[in-house]
Amino acid sequence: MRTCPNCQNSVPDGAYCPTCGYMFPDFAGASRSKVKRRRVRALLAVFFAAAALCLFIFLPRPGFESIQRSQLLDPALKLLGGAADRGELSADLELTAGCDDFLISRLLRGSAAVLKLQLEDGGALINAGLTVMGSEVLTGYATYRDGALGFALPQADGKYYEGAKLPLPKPDASSFREKTRACLDILFDAVNDENLTVTKENGLTRYVFAPSEAELEAMVLALGDELGIGLVPPESLTWTLEASWIRLKAVTVEAGGVTVRIEPDGLSLPGTVTGPGFDASFELNGELPLSASLTLDGDPLGVGIDGLTLDLTATTPSTAKEPEGELVDISGYNILEVIKLAEGLVSKLTGDILGEFGGIF
């Protein structure tokens, strides 16, 4: 114990008087020294952290990778992996079309192909339909529950066939993410100071990755090995990242005459795909709805339709309905018998649909 010379109270040994705050001279120098050392350590920590951040972001290769991973690829993986983890999907997809030909455009007006999906708890309820000029010409139902498949084609015979044993593997979200990350690692590992150029103009930094023919071939072969499939390298690849400061503005990939461009806008991912004879646009969001449009120049598909435009929209939740009709148990059917049954129903439907189209014209 000691006596404080300022307030005359007895205080325990230490640097300060707990009553009045007086600092004893024999401790003042040591305390100030400790404070200085702490400040120096804090400043050094901030300096090295800032230096590491600058190296990671502003050096060509780390910047090209880190900006895309943090603002585009990782969020997309999280979104897709989350849906796979839950094993849930509830959406209605509608495909409509138009073209330059007057007679065919008349047929396509009021026509649509619809797919309704309800996936949850390892099961599925699927509705499919085809409408031509406002007339429903085809409706189909499919169910999958507890390893058993069911289906119905009302226009064929009005029966619901249920119980065909068909075990399917459950989607593995973690495996999907690991495989995707491994492929991304292969892509980014191919980037080096020789095949990546960086230019800056008006506050915009442009990174351009253009691998040589040998580098491109090695990268594509490595991707094929990772995925377990054979891949053929395109003639060339140009991958461009545009960023303002550290904010991603656009990503453009050109390969094999096809150009894909994405311009992230918050949770929205609008983009375009162009190539020989076609021009497509799309907009993806963190949640549904989504939309996509494809326009073909001339008749690249060789189907006799010029200027074909396809529009796809997806909305949620799904409006899929349970199949109706006389229940037929096919739990004792083997896979060949199920296929033969389906072929018979489809054959009958073909005649019905042709008759329906004849009535339209």
Q: Which of the 8 DSSP states describes residue 13?
A: S
At 16, is the pLDDT very low, low, confident or very high (cuts 50, 70, 90)? low
Is 280 or 85 the better-scoring residue by pLDDT?
280
Q: What confidence tier does 289 reach under pLDDT thresholds 50, 70, 90?
A: low
42 vs 333, more confident:
333
Whether the pLDDT of residue 58 is over 80: the answer is: no
Mean pLDDT of the residues in the chain: 79
Q: For residues 261 and 269, what is the distance between their CA atoms, to the nearest angstrom?
A: 10
Q: Cα separation of 37 and 48, whole Å?
A: 17
Q: What share of the chain is helix, strand, coil (3-state, %, to 5)?
A: 35, 35, 30
The span from the CA of 333 to the CA of 337, in Å, is: 6
Which of 53, 68, 50, 52 lies closest to 205, judged by CA?
68
Strands 10-11 and 2-3: antiparallel
Q: Among all chains, which residue has been given the structure tokens 């690829």?
A: 73
**Confidence class for position 34, pLDDT limits 50, 70, 90:** low
- Rounded to the nearest angstrom, the gap between the alpha carbon of residue 77 and the centroid of all alpha carbons in its chain is 6
Is residue 47 exposed (0-12), middle (13-18) or buried (19+ Cβ within 10 Å)? exposed
- ω before 25 within 30° of 0 (cis)? no
What distance in Å separates the CA atoms of residue 165 and residue 332, rounded to the nearest whole number? 8
Residue 39 binned pLDDT confidence (cut-offs 50, 70, 90): low
Question: What residue segments make up the domains of the chain, in order of their start?
Answer: 2-58
C-alpha to C-alpha distances, 9 to 15, 21, 26, nearest whole angstrom: 15, 12, 18
CA dist 139 and 52 (Å) reads: 60
pLDDT single digits (tens) 122-178: 789 999 998 888 888 888 999 998 889 999 998 888 899 998 888 776 666 667 778
Read off the pLDDT band of 60 (50, 70, 90).
low
Picking from 272, 276, 187, the residue whose alpha carbon sits closest to that of residue 223 is 187
Please tell me whether the peptide bond between 154 and the residue prior to it is cis, using omega within 30 degrees of 0.
Answer: no
Q: Which residues of 106-116 are buried (b: 16+ CB within 10 A; e: fewer)?
A: ebbeebbbbbb
Q: Is the pLDDT of residue 22 over 50?
A: yes
Distance (Å, whole) CA 241 – CA 209: 8
Predicted structure pTM score: 0.63
Q: What is the pLDDT of residue 287?
A: 57
**Three-state secondary structure along 170-213?**
CCCHHHHHHHHHHHHHHHHHCCCCCCEEEEEECCEEEEEECCCH
Higher pLDDT, 308 or 52: 308
